[in-house]
Amino acid sequence: MTLLTPQAGDIPLPVPGALSVPYWEGCAAGELRFQRCSDCGGATHTPAVLCAHCTSTDLVWEVSSGRGEVYSWTTIWRPATPAFEVPYVPLIVEMEEGWHMLADLVGCEHDAVHVGLAVEVEFFAHPGGITLPYFHPRR
């Protein structure tokens, strides 16, 4: 058996934009952050100027519970670049606060994934200098 692990190779790494700096700073601090609307209470991701629910611009950063369920998944066998170890398993995770994000699965075998799998965030400090969120099955 082979457990899925974070990609430590020379992969393309995020270059934060003006809107996403707080998100990536959160990852470095071990926090998964999203934006909460002060007007309607809705959650927004990816980092935005406008609330996805009401278009308010009054968004404040909040720390997620880090827990969610697999909404969709794919197991990739042909890597995007040779730096990626295969297989890897990109997920869309539906977070407890109602927002969705994309990240890879770790900490289990690739065929353990299914829609509805309960997962929790973990962080991996890539040697390239940025900390990336991944998800492992909730134990």
Partner 1 sequence: MGQHPFHDVAIVGIHNTEQARVLEGHDDRSISLQAALGAIADAGLEPRDVDGVIGPFGNDFLYQARIGPAWRSLSALGIPALLDGVTAIASGMATTVLFATGGAGTYTQRASTAPWTRPTNEFVAAYGMYTAGEFALMARRHMHLHGTTAEQMAHAAAVVRNNGHAHPDAVYSGRGPFTAEDVLASRMVADPFHLLECSMTSEGGAAVVLTRADRVADLRQRPVYVLGGGTDYYGPAYQHPPLWDLGGHRRPDLVAGYVGRRAAEEAFACAGLGPNDVDVCEFYDPFSFEILRQFEAFGFCGPGEGGAYVTSGAIEPGGATPVTTDGGTMSFSHGGAAVQLLQRVIRGVEQLRGTCASMQVEGAEVAMCTGGGSGALFTDVVLLGRERP
- Residues forming the site for partner 1 (CB under 8 A): 7, 11-17, 20, 24, 46, 71-82, 84, 88, 90, 92, 100-104, 115, 126, 132
How long is the chain?
139
Q: How far is the CB of 76 from partner 1 (least distance, A)?
A: 5
Q: How far is 52 from 27, CA to CA, in rounded Å?
A: 22
Q: How far is 61 from 126, CA to CA, in rounded Å?
A: 24
Contact partner, 81, from Zn ion, partner 1, none, Cβ < 5-8 Å per class: partner 1
Which residue do the tokens 């999203």 mark? 34
- Is the preceding peptide bond at 131 cis, omega within 30 degrees of 0? no
Contact partner, 115, from Zn ion, partner 1, none, Cβ < 5-8 Å per class: partner 1
Q: How far is the CB of 12 from partner 1 (least distance, A)?
A: 4
